[in-house]
Amino acid sequence: MNDRVITDIIDAIATVTLDMPDTRNAISDPGLCHGLIDAFEAISANHAVRCVILTGSGKSFCSGGNIHDLRNRTGMFGGDAVAVRNSYRDSVQKLIRTVWQCEVPVIAAVNGAAYGAGCDLAACCDIRLAGESAVFAENFTALGLVSGDGGAWLLPRQIGLSRAAEMTYTADPVDAVKALHWGLVSSVVTDDRLMAEATDLAARIARHPAHGLRLSKRLIREGMTTTLDTLLELAGAYQGALHQSDEHAAAMAALAAGRKAGPGKA
């Protein structure tokens, strides 16, 4: 149990909430960071889960590093160069890997600020929905720093090299409307509708057979870094396995009967 991260699972959908609104959900807090790692590892291992919604409590999604700790070189920012490097590797870098490698689709429901590592956390999710108050900033250069958690790899893959470079070099915030125009988010909704819209999207994903969803995500991930020939070989192997699955048989039977197979039906 972690009092900084809340996980609820209802009807094959897991909702993971960063719950430190007093720090605007600063991800440099060890309890919050490791709580998220534990939550996503558990979700990947839970084959009853078919989709995840990640959001923040209060008025921010995630403010990145705690400014107090940055200024005073405390917490994960304390110690010599080797200590800081190890802190990054054991915390936010491990978190980014864990969320990126989560086996089920992840929706970021971005409310308010997604700054620094918070922006990168949103970028490593599969889909991003923004409340109208959402603001994204890759603002490390404003503090004389670089993205220590993978933003230089994540952002260009989400919005292209030119716009990722602009966000990184200027450190200027990007509001929800521009984020939609740039393709950083799929849609913008009113703040009071954000979780309802995220839940509706998650339900449209979670209605499909679990193994097909997980392997579809794996193919998309692999396709970002491999050749077409290699991906086709992998896709063929996955397809061969899925053709023999009970889920596929149930989905085909449901199709023949004129209904859709959903959670608990496939």
Structural domains in the chain, CATH included, are 5-206 (3.90.226.10), 210-256 (1.10.12)
Q: Does residue 22 register a pLDDT over 70?
A: yes
Q: Does residue 156 register a pLDDT over 80?
A: yes
Share of the chain above pLDDT 70, in %: 97
- Kindly write down the DSSP assignment for every residue of 108-175, as one continuous string: EEE-SEEETHHHHHHHTSSEEEEETT-EEE--SGGGT---TTSHHHHHHHHH-HHHHHHHHHH---EE
* Residue 75: per-residue pLDDT: 86
* Residue 127: per-residue pLDDT: 98
Say what the pTM is. 0.92
DSSP 60: E
Average pLDDT for the chain: 94
